[in-house]
Amino acid sequence: MSETATATKRESGAAAAPGGGGPGFMAGPVGRNLGLVIALAILCAVGVATAGDRFADVNNLLTILRLASVIGVVSIGMTFVIIGGGIDLSVGALVALSSVWATTLATQALAEDVHWIVMVLTAILVGAGAGLVNGVVIAYGKLVAFIATLAMLVSARGLAEIIANRRTQIVQDRDFLSFFSGDVLGIPTLVIIWALVSAAGWVLLNRTTFGRRTFAVGGNAEAARLAGIRVQRHTVLLYVLSGVCCGIAGVMIMARTTTGSSTHGTLYELLAIAGVVIGGTLLIGGRGTIVGTVLGTLLLTTLGNVFTLNNLTSSAQAVAQGVIIVLAVLLQMRLAGGQGRSRKARTPGGPGGVASGASGVPGSPAGALPGGASEPTT
């Protein structure tokens, strides 16, 4: 009886603590995603209002999707890393490195002899390899992810410059270009790749042991470790996954620009992180959705498109983008509510339920109070 009573009391206390009166509608993942859809709708309305038919044109919409697709794939990998409690600043550099490596004369010659798939595999392997380095340094070297991937950002781009000798490498393979720049039923192949990667990411995150462990590791790494999850190995896999996504994005950017270049993917780390965070993934890890990331990426790209159609310079766009990222993260922190400041409930004065006084204290000295006088109020 008393147990039930206390339980209810504690519940109401706990529920009141985070946000005041239970989780609000907008705080749930569905609510947040709905909020993003509404924001996207408003943005489209603004686009139509300011640019009219130039915005609401099928070709323009396809352009938005095609632009979003490369960064979208990178963001899927980033979502996993961030939910797992990490960060990957090297993504843009890895896109550049894999695009350069896949378009060297040697790789292209091999691709000509065998099949263009060699270029694709090269890009993915390069991304995975760099991600492996990131992961090992972070998980086993115990280096802060921020520093490790920042170092990778610099070195990977430097390596790309060395390999490309600071020149832009043209993709020669006709079949490669025609495959990736084509479309299926009017939908560009790049967009289809993005959709496939997102779908695979959704399944991986929500329907597999890998995804569940990602949430556990990011939510409470110590609890995950003590629950028997191999946290270090899992962390490595998360960065490899991000690297693989960068490799795929490298292939996509090769197809879109018909080049491999060490300048590809500049500032992708910022755009990807922004997309993920706007999509409602907690930067401290443990919570996030793939759908949110897809919507966040779409939101950012559409915004850029609306700006361009209204003849804003790219510099002005950059300023606006920065402001919007800050606003989005501020909003997200509000919605997440009491997350970070959950107070540690400490039982006062040691374990509770301690009664007072003993029935027979032999030889109680003067000054000792009689035992058993007061019963605890439980």
Residue 345 C-beta: closest distance to other proteins, Å: 8
| Residue 186 vs 350, nearer CB to other proteins | 350
Residue 139 C-beta: closest distance to other proteins, Å: 14
- Distance (Å, rounded) from C-alpha 157 to C-alpha 362? 80
Residue 54 C-beta: closest distance to other proteins, Å: 45
Residue 189 C-beta: closest distance to other proteins, Å: 27
- Distance (Å, rounded) from C-alpha 215 to C-alpha 230? 13
| Residue 184 vs 373, nearer CB to other proteins | 373
Residue 14 C-beta: closest distance to other proteins, Å: 5
Supply φ then ψ for residue 122, to 5 degrees.
Answer: -60, -50
Please tell me the number of Cα atoms within 13 Å of 137 on its side-chain side. 18
254: left (phi over 0), alpha (psi -120 to 50) or beta: alpha
User: Per this entry, what is the length of the chain?
Assistant: 378
Provide the β-strand partners of residue 169.
260
| Residue 174 vs 344, nearer CB to other proteins | 344
Q: Which two tokens stand for residue 80?
A: 């996993």
| Residue 66 vs 213, nearer CB to other proteins | 213
List residues binding other proteins (CB under 8 A): 1-4, 6-7, 10-11, 14-15, 203, 207-210, 212-213, 215-216, 219-220, 222-230, 286-287, 339, 342, 344-345, 347-365, 367-369, 371-372, 374-378
| Residue 109 vs 284, nearer CB to other proteins | 284
- Distance (Å, rounded) from C-alpha 320 to C-alpha 278? 15
- Distance (Å, rounded) from C-alpha 197 to C-alpha 203? 10
Residue 282 C-beta: closest distance to other proteins, Å: 10
DSSP string, 273-308: HHHHHHTT--TTSS---HHHHHHHHHHHHHHHHHHH
| Residue 139 vs 156, nearer CB to other proteins | 139
